Amino acid sequence: MLARTGSVATVRGMDPVLRDVAIGTKGFMPPDEGDALFAAAIDAARRVPGRPFVEVGSYCGRSTVWLGAAARACGTVVHAVDHHGGSEENQEGWEWHDPSLVDAATGRIDTLPHFRATIARAGLGDVVREAIGESTAVAARLTGAASLVFVDGGHGRDVARADWLAWSPKVAPGGLLAIHDVFEDPADGGQAPFEEIHQPAVRAGFVEVSRCGSLRVLLAPA
């Protein structure tokens, strides 16, 4: 169940120590987009107080630290969803493969130890809730609404479409949907997050309220 939590605190900005942890963590979130994600989470908690955040695709926990910092500031939690086996583009032979994330015993990617080390280093274990498993399976078992759903999972079309179908109903009315790696121009990057998540959201009545780099933040219909 998506836990209901306390009231929103007055927030001035992200703890610089936590920001340094985020920037120093392996991952793909540029610092300015991470700051924008933090701001979106703060905004979401003000719009829909008492509801958690959800992160779909945690990898080694880089973006989770930005969300965890916002969760602590707002008196809520973030459900960090990942199977920790790496997305398609992280596998051997693909552009974003990192051999240091391969478990020596299994020969497979395992980002979970790295994720846990990040959360421990940030001291965010009290507000970050691990949700380990396939995205759609986790969505099926987590009930209730979230003030913010951040989608940064696999970038294959089928995976992105499945994330949209599974997680868009979890965004509370008046809450925020954040999407990473949205590129309108194919020359800038893959089209799955744009065509399979962003555009269906717009057609469903979500309204874009901010953008930073490839991060898009959309307001859910009330």
Residue 62 and residue 30 in contact, taking contact as beta carbons nearer than 8 Å: no
Active site residue 198: no
- Cα 54–chain centre separation: 6
**Which pair of structure tokens corresponds to residue 87?**
């997305």
> Mapping DSSP to helix (H, G, I), strand (E, B) and coil, where does residue 79 land?
strand
Residue 151 and residue 100 in contact, taking contact as beta carbons nearer than 8 Å: no
Measured CA distances, 31 to 21, 59, 63, 93, 105 (Å): 11, 16, 9, 27, 33
- In the set 79, 83, 114, 155, the catalytic residue is 155
Measured CA distances, 97 to 57, 89, 92, 125, 171 (Å): 16, 7, 6, 28, 31
Measured CA distances, 101 to 21, 64, 125, 139, 179 (Å): 19, 18, 22, 26, 24
Q: How far apart are CA 69 and CA 22, in angstroms?
A: 10
Q: How far apart are CA 74 and CA 72, in angstroms?
A: 5
Amino acid at 88: E
For the annotated catalytic residues, the residue numbers are: 155
